[in-house]
Every structure is written in C-alpha cells, then in structure tokens.
Structure 1
Amino acid sequence: MAKNAPTREELRAFFVEELELPDETIAYETEFAADLGIDSLTTMELMVQLEKRYGVRLEESEFAALTSVKAVHELLTARLDAAA
C-alpha cells in the first residue's frame, strides 16, 4: 500500500531535521543550493532518505530538478497520489 504524500510542513520539518538547521532557515520556497549552499551529493543523500521514508523510487535524472522543498513536495505528491 502506498504511503500518503507528506504535507508541506512535514516535508519542511524533514529537511530541518536532516540538515540540522534552525527551523526558520528553511521555508517552502527555499532553494537548496542557492539559499542553503547544499551540494548535489547532499541532495542525493536526502532523496535516498525520502525514498526509504515514503516508499518511492526517484530516478537519478530527476534529482537535478529537485532544487527546493517545493519541488520535492510536488514530485512526491504526484508520485504518491498516482500510486494510491
């Protein structure tokens, strides 16, 4: 059974926790590289955690487009809603 897509707040909280950043540092529109200085390797590690947590498979080619909490939320929502 597919898991429900995370809410915006659940996903934002995931990034706060995983990146060990102050809560106010990450907003829904926050860009990982531009606003937080996160490199592609760290982004990939985060996506692997999300794959495990939500039971989805993300293609490597999709990682480049996952540049913000918003982008990740939209992709997860689309994937998990399609699987439901």
Structure 2
Amino acid sequence: MSTHTGIALDKEDLRFLIADVLELDVEEVTDDADFVQELEVDSLMALAIVARLERHYGVKLKEDDFKRVSSLTQVHRLIGDKRAAQAAS
C-alpha cells in the first residue's frame, strides 16, 4: 500500500469524506456526533468509511480500530496515530 504522507490530516477534509460516504450533509457530521446513534452508521457503512480512509490517507485500519471510535474527533485522532506509527517505522 502506498503512503499518502503528502495529504494533510485536516478535520474538515475528514468531515467531508465521511459525509460523502454516508451521503449526509456536512453539517450533520459534527465533531462529536455518534456514528451509530446519531448518524445511523451500520456495519456496511463502517466498512465503506474504513476503505475510503485507508485509500485516502494511506493507512491500514483493523476492524477493531474502527469499532473503538464513535465520532469524527476520535477518527481524526486514530488516523493521526496510525500515520505517526507508520512514519516511525
């Protein structure tokens, strides 16, 4: 997998990406909106988000990684951590 180190991890870009996958208005994807409770993300939608994040940011996410996050803020932190770990290795 190629790394996309040139792509900045911007929360607003991440918000647009997730809104696009979920076919929601960007305003609905608030920093702390719960994916399952408020945005009605099911397992298929979660897989689509993971695939898009992996392609866009050049990270590899495990199934457990995405199960532990429930909001945009948490996804932003997760991607940042994954990219930092990749850069360190």
Taking structure 2 as the reference length, the TM-score comes to: 0.81
Matched, 1:56 2:31: no
1:4-62 alpha-carbon deviations (Å, 9 max, x no partner):
45211111111122212112211111111011111122112211111111111111121
Can you give the 5+ residue segments of structure 1 that lack an aligned partner in the other structure?
A: none
For 2:44 and 2:67, the matched residues in 1 are separated by: 11
**RMSD (Å) for aligned C-alpha atoms:** 1.6
Question: 1:16 aligns to what SS in structure 2?
Answer: helix
More helix by share: 1
**Quick one: which of 36, 41, 51 aligns to 1:38?**
41
Q: Sequence identity, in percent? A: 32
For these two proteins, the number of residue pairs brought into alignment is 84
Is 1:65 matched up with 2:89? no
| Greater relative contact order, per chain length (Cα 8 Å cut-off, separation 6+) | 1
2:83 alignment partner in structure 1 = 80
Q: Where in structure 2 are there 5+ consecutive unaligned residues? A: none
